[in-house]
Amino acid sequence: MTPRSILFLLASLLMLVAGSTEVASARQPNIVIILADDLGYADLGFQGCKDIPTPHLDRLAAAGTRCTNGYVSGPYCSPTRAGLLTGRYQQRFGHEFNPGANGAGLPLSETTIADRLKKAGYATGLVGKWHLGGSPKFHPNRRGFDEFFGFLGGAHAYFAERGAPILRNDTVVDEREYLTDAFGREAVAYIDRHKDHPFFLYLAFNAVHTPMQATDARLKRFEKIENTQRRTYAAMTSAMDDAVGQVLEKLKSTGLDDETLVFFFADNGGPTMPTTTINGSINAPLRGSKRTTLEGGIHVPFVVRWPGKVPAGKTYDGSLIQLDILPTALAAAGVKTDPQWKLDGVDLLPFLRGEAKGAPHDTLYWRFGTQMAIRHGDSKLVRYDSTADGLEGRRATDARLYNLAADIGESKDLAAAEPAKLKELQAAWDKWNAELAPPLWGGGNRATAD
């Protein structure tokens, strides 16, 4: 072989190696959604909490963008999950309330994010709480998830001797570990199994939903908190933070940090009203609670992390909603969305990177029985559960108008002072409401307990 031939062969090999590296770097990113249940707005370190250290979630927020106007499309567990998995306002397909034990669930007409990512070549897994129907036809394995470890209902005990069955796919397992720890263990194992191939992991904690149960070791960490309910809540929050830390460490140790898009948010505000199962959470400076369309029910902690692709250590103030997670994940995966899907969410990446002007949404909407809300810019019109004002009964108040930029606590009603704004927002909400389906179950201002 001549020297020139040798040089040509070496050059060809170098090009081949370079090409292989380019292909490897173009791998579809992993997608991880971490969902907290009934978490108070003020109960994480990066949200200003002082009595419950959350170092792992704080690290996640510091490595990503914290979205200060992050919302969910419902003030209750199951409706929020229906919106998350479809990228559509759940009221469009009748999933307005929690499904009870009546065979109800996420309508089969809807396509989930797991369906869409599976079609794009992803491994798909759910660890944790489902709450989108317990009948076989609604089972996660039949809604796009290759693997499922968790429970199907709305709430579950944290200790095995007190709980209903835990499932691995369709099989009941004898789970003895504290449930939040078990979910962390299973999430880590899922990442380990799929580290060599793009995966989607939906890690849906039931922490910090009732029942209030924590391990003795974690209760010991918070023995200085005098209020026993708050002490247990702190221990449960700490367990969730520990599990998130294990997931983050597994992504780091497997070299997947830069190849993984992570979302973290809560399904609704903390339950602080007597009409809910109170868990000791705090929503300050927001007013209201889970089950209301006040900010305390729908405005939640929200973080997006993707090293090198989403700015680190930043805050983003534009209004966004959990419906945006599906189109954002699909955009990251290189999946083109189809207008026929009629998604309500949008791709957040251009906004978080500063490539798109304005906010992801000029207007956001809510309907929950007789409660409603609309946010347009900084103005919010809301009818909420009157028990938030200490009134008896579950009826919606008259419409109240607030400027959230000046009054995030919704304390100064501007309805009388700005009747034109009230009329404008009511008309916009009425137009949206006319597009919605009636609830498939539940009714009025009532919702099944979770």
Sorted by where each begins, the domain ranges of the chain are: 28-352, 363-433
pLDDT of residue 4: 35
**pLDDT reading at 23 higher than 60:** no
Which residues, 6 or more positions from 22, have their beta carbon under 8 angstroms from its beta carbon?
A: none
Q: How many helices (H) and strands (E) does the chain have?
A: 11, 16
Given a cut of 90, is residue 389 above it in pLDDT?
Answer: no
pLDDT digits (tens, 9 = 90+) for 295-327: 999 999 999 999 999 999 999 999 999 999 999
Give the list of residues 6+ apart from residue 305 with CB closer than 8 angstroms, or none: 60, 61, 63, 64, 65, 261, 262, 264, 312
pLDDT in tens, 26-38: 689 999 999 999 9
**Mean pLDDT of all residues in 251-272:** 98
Alpha-carbon distance 47 to 318, whole Å? 17
Fold match between 28-352 and 363-433?
no
Question: For residue 78, what pLDDT is reported?
Answer: 98
| Average confidence (pLDDT) over 104-116 | 98
Mean pLDDT to the nearest integer, 49-67: 98
C-alpha distances in angstroms, 147 versus 69, 287, 294, 318?
Answer: 33, 39, 36, 35
- Asked if the peptide bond before residue 285 counts as cis, ω within 30 degrees of 0, the response is yes
Interval 81-97 mean pLDDT: 98
Buried b (16+ CB within 10 A) or exposed e, 218-230: bbebbeebeeeeb
- Mean pLDDT on 185-195: 98
Between 321 and 18, the more confident residue is 321
Q: Give the model's pLDDT for residue 391.
A: 77
Fold of the domain spanning 28-352: Alkaline Phosphatase, subunit A (3.40.720)
Residue holding tokens 């009748």?
94
* CATH 3.30.1120.10, domain 363-433, yes or no: yes
Which residues does the annotation mark as catalytic? 77, 131
Arithmetic mean of pLDDT over the chain: 92
Looking at the predicted structure, is the pLDDT value of residue 444 above 50?
no
Mean pLDDT to the nearest integer, 421-449: 84
Looking at residue 119, its amino acid is: K
* Integer Cα distance of 356 and 399 in angstroms: 33
Report the percent of the chain where pLDDT is more than 70. 91
- In whole angstroms, give the CA distance from residue 381 to residue 373: 5
Task: Give 397's pLDDT tier (boundaries 50, 70, 90).
Answer: confident
Interstrand relation of 379-383 and 371-376 (parallel, antiparallel or unpaired): antiparallel
> What is the band of 450 on the pLDDT scale with cuts at 50, 70, 90?
low
DSSP 385: B
Question: Cis link prior to 438 (omega < 30° from 0)?
Answer: no
pTM given for the model: 0.92
Check pLDDT > 60 for residue 18: no
Residue 337 and residue 330 in contact, taking contact as beta carbons nearer than 8 Å: yes
Q: Tell me how far apart the alpha carbons of residues 67 and 128 are, in angstroms, rounded to a whole number.
A: 24
Between 215 and 443, name the one with better pLDDT.
Answer: 215
Torsion of CA 380, 279, 140, 57, to 10 degrees: 80
